[in-house]
Chains A and B, each alone.
Chain A
Amino acid sequence: MTRRVLGVDLGSTTAKAVVVDEAGAILASSTVAMGAVSRAGMHRCIDEAVGRAGIEVGDVSGTISTGYGRKLVPGIQRSYTEITCHARGVAAMVPGVRLIVDIGGQDSKAITVDKDGLVVDFAMNDRCASGTGRFYEVLARAIEIELPELGPLAMRGSQDLEVSSMCATFAETEIVSLMAQDMRVEDIASSVHRAIAGRTLALVAQVGRRTPVVMTGGVARNPAAVHFLSRALDHEVLVPEQPQISGAYGAALLAMESFLRTSPPVPDVPGADFIFPRVDHTAAGHSCAGCDGHLRGKVELGAAIPLRSS
């Protein structure tokens, strides 16, 4: 029977789970919005994903978690940061990607990756929710529409009202003020999107602009957010079919590489000299070069790891 592994991304507002097979193909996925990091939401998300894959949780050969709640996920073999997982997932979804802009519920990240999909550099917000999904929620609430309507509404805006995007709280005040001046809600929405794109551009500047650019995270489902980021970058921004699950997918791929590989990896990376034999480690917590983790003392190497003699 084909073995399956699970990747779980427990974010600030949403849980995502992806089941992949030994070839790394997505068998099933689930996304559950839960308000805040929630164990109940996480369990429902995992149950949905494995159920859709036609298996039980006990049939999963390995689990890797990511996201702010990564340490809360039960039964994991190890966890990775969302930076590594998004890079891994997006590199598989959009081969050749060099810059990833991930905007989630409460954080935003810019990640540059190399040709092998490995992280080169990253920047993320650490003190302010400006430019995150939370900011869009504030906007939707202020102009009294549902979140999914926000993007299409903003796409109809034409006038730039120069809204400040520095603080989610103060921006709400500014939006209310603009509404009191009878400004069109389409223009308010588009102006906020434009300002947020400018904020994201500052994050991108920290790691350097690269192309192709891919946007992930829940906010990537908002067409106006993608449109205005594309205009700010002056370059097309690609969006995977399921932008929210790229972190969980990356975690699942890392799990697949760690737990399902049965043959020694073939060094298909330039500079690689050796086929590295499987090695059994005995030291607890051992983590050797390029190692994806350990499972009951046994460590295996991923396929994309260059092996050098010195």
Chain B
Amino acid sequence: MSEALEAQQRLQAVARDPRAYLEQWRQAHPGGKVIGALPMNFPREIAYAAGVLPVIVQDDQKPVTEGRALLAEFYCGYTRNLADQAATGRFDMYDALFMADHCIQLIGSADIVRAVTPQPVFFGMLISSLSDSWAGAKIAEMMGEFRSELERFSGRTIEDHELRASIVAYNKDRQLLRRIFDDRSAGSAVHSPTQLQDYVVSSMVMDPVEHHRLLEAAVSEPASRDRDARVRVHLSGHLCHAPRRELLEVIEDSGALVVDDDLYTGRRYLSTDVDESLDPLDAIGKWYAQRNVNIPCPTRVQHDADWDEYLVEATRSSGAEAVIHLMPKFCEPHMLFYPELRKSLEAAGIPQLLIETEHEGIPLEAFRTRVEALVELTLRKRPVHV
């Protein structure tokens, strides 16, 4: 087996079974601490600088059982899955849990996590309103709290040079991922959406230096594959967890070719680097703010950042002919924004399809029909060049 293929398989294995990776990591780092970080904006750089492995908690795709009694059905599937992981002891692979967000549904799950897990839980609410004059100071203050809390948890002081090194490690990993995504939006069809999802999810789980080394090996062999005649689509949505792989496969199996996305387990995750030239903590605060400029998030309020404008521009830039919205059921931020997205794409003449996803029960054949119908109507719009 080639080194590239071996690395690809390793990344896939980590993405699909984080628990196994964490067990191996603990064996290799006796006494090392692992924290589970709830999405979407936890500053992992601070934790890594403290010698802690920060792992973004994934939807483990298991059926919701005990968690059903803890969070109502009108919470999104991911948050109910988090509650279920907490309630059934599946968070035992973490030494502590951290959250740095403001999504109303994630906050609900954080309360459950705090109530039922024996591990320490730190919930730092990053502000969502970014247009106010005091926003920068509030973000910096919260980043300082994360630093203090992580120092307390790890039992050591985080030096600035350690923070800088951590920033460099995560930037380097994001930059390599971004290069792969940029290649795709520029025309390369080498990587399937499930493969790219595995690359990103494994990055969310692994030590950044180790991940970068493996990813570099995974893409080390020259490969080229141009886009074929399938309809080029942009996947939009799934702001805090991965869409099911089966769904991504059905989309590409139904005549569509994914050329770009703004998924959390896609371009949204790797959109922004931390500025290495600034004071490290200030830079991490600015990273949080800048992420919403680079790819706007509907959980935030910022007058000069619009997801709909971003989406139309992104389709132009990648040559996407259609947009498939992947909206988790009961994702309130996405539901709130969706009418604006729809109107903007309609005005731009871009065909679109809304697929509402659920944690359990995915009607793949019905989705297949709908994607094929989108493909058929988009093909009819293709201009003929003579």
- Residue numbers of A with Cβ under 8 A of B are 68, 80-84, 107, 118-120, 122, 124-127, 274, 276, 285-291, 301, 305, 307-310
B386: which of A127, A274, A286 is its contact (CB, 8 Å)?
A: A274
CB–CB A276/B384 < 8 A:
yes
Residues from chain B with a CB closer than 8 A to the CB of A276 are: 384, 386
Instruction: Please name all residues of chain B whose beta carbon is closer than 8 Å to the beta carbon of A301 when the two chains form the complex.
Output: 384
Residues A122 and B373 in contact in the complex (CB < 8 Å), given A276-B384, A290-B379, A290-B382: yes
Task: Known A127-B363, A309-B386; judge A81-B229 contact (CB<8 A).
Answer: no
Q: Which residues of chain A come closer than 8 Å to B372, judged between CB atoms?
A: 80-81
Q: Identify which of B363, B377, B386 contacts A118 (C-beta below 8 A).
A: B377
* Beta-carbon contact of A82 and B369 below 8 Å: yes
C-alpha spacing A84/B376, complex, angstroms: 7
Q: Which residues does chain A contribute within 8 Å of B376, judged by CB atoms?
A: 80-81, 83-84, 119
Q: Do B384 and A305 touch across chains, with their CB atoms under 8 A apart? A: yes
Select which of B228, B361, B377, B384 is within 8 A of A84 by beta carbon. Answer: B377
CB distance from A83 to the nearest CB of B (A): 4
Select from chain A the residue with minimum beta-carbon distance to B384: A289
Q: Report the interface size class on chain B.
A: 20 to 34
B380 at the interface (CB under 8 A from A): yes
Complex Cα distance, B376 from A120, in Å, reads 11
- B29 close to A (CB within 8 Å): no
Pick from A81, A124, A287 the residue with the most CB of B within 10 Å: A81
- Beta-carbon nearest neighbor of B230 in chain A: A287
Give the shortest distance, in Å, between B254 (CB) and chain A (any CB).
Answer: 9
Question: Could you list 19 examples of A-B contacts with CB < 8 Å?
Answer: A80-B372, A81-B369, A83-B369, A84-B373, A119-B377, A120-B377, A122-B370, A125-B366, A127-B363, A274-B386, A276-B386, A286-B229, A287-B255, A289-B379, A289-B384, A307-B386, A308-B384, A309-B385, A309-B386
Chain B residue at minimum C-beta to C-beta distance from A126: B366
Check A68–B382 contact: CB distance below 8 A. Answer: no
Which of A124, A286, A308 is the one whose CB lies under 8 Å from B370?
A: A124
B382 touches A289 (CB 8 A): yes
Is B367 an interface residue when CB atoms closer than 8 A count as contact? yes
Asked whether A124 and B383 contact (CB < 8 A) given A80-B376, A84-B376, the answer is no
- A39 to B228: give the CA distance in the assembly, Å: 33
Give every chain B residue within 8 A of A285 (Cβ-Cβ).
Answer: 228-229
* A-chain residues with CB within 8 Å of residue B380 when the two chains form the complex: 118-119, 290, 305
Contact assessment for B363 and A126 in the assembled complex, using a CB-CB cutoff below 8 Å: yes
Q: Please provide the 9 A-B residue pairs with the shortest distance between their CB atoms, ordered closest to farther.
A: A289-B382, A126-B366, A83-B373, A289-B384, A81-B373, A119-B377, A84-B376, A81-B372, A308-B383
Which chain A residues lie closer than 8 Å to B383 at the CB level?
289, 308, 310
Q: Which residue of B lies closest to A80 (CB)?
A: B376
Chain A residues near B361 (CB-CB < 8 A): 127
> Roughly how many angstroms separate A285 CA and B229 CA in the complex, as a whole number?
8
Q: Using Cβ atoms and an 8 Å threshold, which residues of chain B touch A126?
A: 356, 363, 366-367, 370
Residues of A within 8 A of B369 (CB): 68, 81-83, 124
Contacts of B386 in A (CB 8 A): 274, 276, 307, 309
Residues of B contacting A287 in the complex (Cβ-Cβ under 8 angstroms): 229, 255, 379
Give the residues from 319 to 375 in chain B that come closer than 8 angstroms, CB to CB, to chain A: 356, 361, 363, 365-367, 369-370, 372-373
From residue B90, how far is it (CB to closest CB) to chain A in Å?
A: 27
CA distance A290 to B386 in the complex (A): 13
Q: Which residues of B contact A80 (CB under 8 A)?
A: 372, 376
Q: In chain B, what residue has the closest Cβ to A277? A: B386
Interface centre among B361, B376, B384, B386 (most CB of A within 10 A): B384
Within 8 A of A (CB), among B137-182: none
- Do residues A68 and B370 form an inter-chain contact, with CB atoms below 8 A? no
Taking CB atoms, residues of chain B closer than 8 Å to A127 are 361, 363, 366
Q: How far is the CA of A50 from the CA of B377 in the complex (A)?
A: 30
Cα–Cα distance between A118 and B377 once the two chains are bound (Å):
7
Tell me whether A124 and B229 are in contact (CB under 8 A): no
Q: Which chain B residue shows the least CB distance to A107?
A: B366
B377's nearest neighbour on chain A, judged by CB, is A119
Closest chain A CB from B358 CB (angstroms): 8
Task: Please name 17 further chain A to chain B contacts, defined as beta carbons within 8 Å, in addition to the given A81-B370, A287-B379, sorted by A numbering.
Answer: A80-B372, A81-B373, A82-B369, A83-B370, A84-B377, A118-B380, A119-B376, A124-B366, A125-B366, A126-B370, A276-B384, A276-B386, A285-B228, A287-B255, A289-B382, A289-B384, A301-B384
Query: Which one of B356, B366, B373, B384 contacts A290 once the chains associate, using CB atoms below 8 Å?
Result: B384
- How far is A274 from B384 in the complex, measured between Cα atoms in Å? 10
A9–B4 Cα gap in the complex (Å)? 46
Residues in chain B near residue A125, CB distance under 8 A: 366
Q: How far is the CA of A238 from the CA of B228 in the complex (A)?
A: 41
Whole-angstrom distance between the Cβ of A111 and the nearest chain B Cβ: 9
Give the docked Cα–Cα distance between A80 and B377 (Å): 11
Distance A122 CA – B367 CA, assembled complex (angstroms): 13
